[in-house]
A and B are shown apart, each in its own frame.
Chain A
């Protein structure tokens, strides 16, 4: 029985044929070989995957940006090496911990606040200034991975860019200030020459001197705009609002444009709501600048003999002023750039008009600082209407 037991067991299905038995054994050997092959393949694939993983890890670890990955419970599951340098902390200190539990680290505090307040947003950026001794400016990009409910935080060092930006602003500010004295001296000299106070001049000389005076005035206006822009960028553009009537400011601004209006034969009209309009909180000097820019543009970009109308009315919670012209208009594809610094419309660049591309940038900043709104409607060659609204 025991001997019998040693006989190879063959499945009853194959018992009737020895050939089939051989086939079975052969098949078994083949299975083993292919299994081994599969295993070898799997091992090779695994080694390849590991190499890929190591490579990806090395790339991420050596990125020049810092990287933190949070799981769906806000636990820090990965931190790359750059983070140690940027935040001046050791990886081991924060890895594996919940980001909310280590928010006493100053940099992380702001990031944690952002994560909490903007939990629903897919991507957002935040600028973070680190104080001494680790003085840096970082830009944090926080990406919410919707599929896995994880978050990736990328920290980019923008310290150098910030320094360059500040130097640029300071440079403009200092050079603009330095330019004011010689420009004043030129202005005074030309004025005295034109008025014949330094000796008689010929009519021809007078014409040239008057043109020079106007050029100098343009340069003065440009310097003034540049200084205002640098003040805005340095956060030194101060606002001193008082309770006032907007219509008085408008009338004053209108009266400062008699020459341009006459020269272009512009029909200027001021249409004010019949009822007494509520007062607004406004910095008179700044709103004057805003209005001068808007009215100046309306006149400048009008066709000769065109109409410019200023409307002033109020709604429940705002006083709304609009300045409508029948001029060249703004090309549709440039709507979104109209309030950016140094931007000038492609169509007005072809016209022989002066302009620095700073007026609307300054104007928008002024209106924003008043917590107001500014917008426009325009059609090329039909005209433009700029609106601004100040809260009551």
Chain B
């Protein structure tokens, strides 16, 4: 069965690139442009993995994860953070919230996102 991935990211270009890259790898890709949209999509699609940005309008990544924790059906879904910040306090908080990986956009290529995705849920 095709694995479902939800990308929650507010930058249109990065979102489009990730969507294409993951579709090319034969994943079933869903997209959301902020936390509120993301949470709604999450409840509906029940993805196998979430790629989540931190700083977004309306609702940020940390709030999304806190909401997920309250929901029995959602709290086990693995999350990979894709953000451009990475302060030690943020990393610590993410770890406490059970985040699987933290990628810094400016340091990586999209290829590395795929590697991390495969590591979590396979092809």
Contacts and interface: CB of A to CB of B under 8 A. Distances in A.
B105 A184 contact: yes
Given A192-B110, A198-B20, A184 B88 contact: no
Interface string B96-116: 000000000110011100000
Contacts, number: 44
Q: How large is the interface on A (under 10, 10 to 19, 20 to 34, 35 or more residues)?
A: 10 to 19
A185 B17 contact: yes
Given A188-B109, A191-B109, A180 B17 contact: no
B90 interface: no
A181 B11 contact: yes
Given A181-B84, A184-B84, A189 B109 contact: no
Given A180-B106, A181-B11, A183-B106, A192 B17 contact: yes
Contacts of B109: 187-188, 191
B69 interface: no
Interface of B: 11, 13-14, 17, 20-21, 24, 84-85, 88, 105-106, 109-111
Contacts of B105: 180-181, 184, 188
Contacts of A187: 106, 109
A194 to B, nearest CB: 10
Contacts of B85: 177
A191 B110 contact: yes
Nearest to B82: A184
B11 A185 contact: yes
Contacts of B84: 177, 180-181, 184
Nearest to A190: B109
Given A177-B84, A180-B105, A188 B110 contact: yes
B21 to A, nearest CB: 7
28 contacts: A177-B85, A180-B84, A180-B105, A180-B106, A181-B105, A182-B13, A183-B106, A184-B14, A184-B84, A184-B105, A184-B106, A185-B13, A185-B14, A185-B17, A187-B106, A188-B13, A188-B105, A188-B110, A189-B17, A191-B110, A191-B111, A192-B17, A192-B20, A192-B110, A195-B111, A197-B21, A198-B20, A220-B106
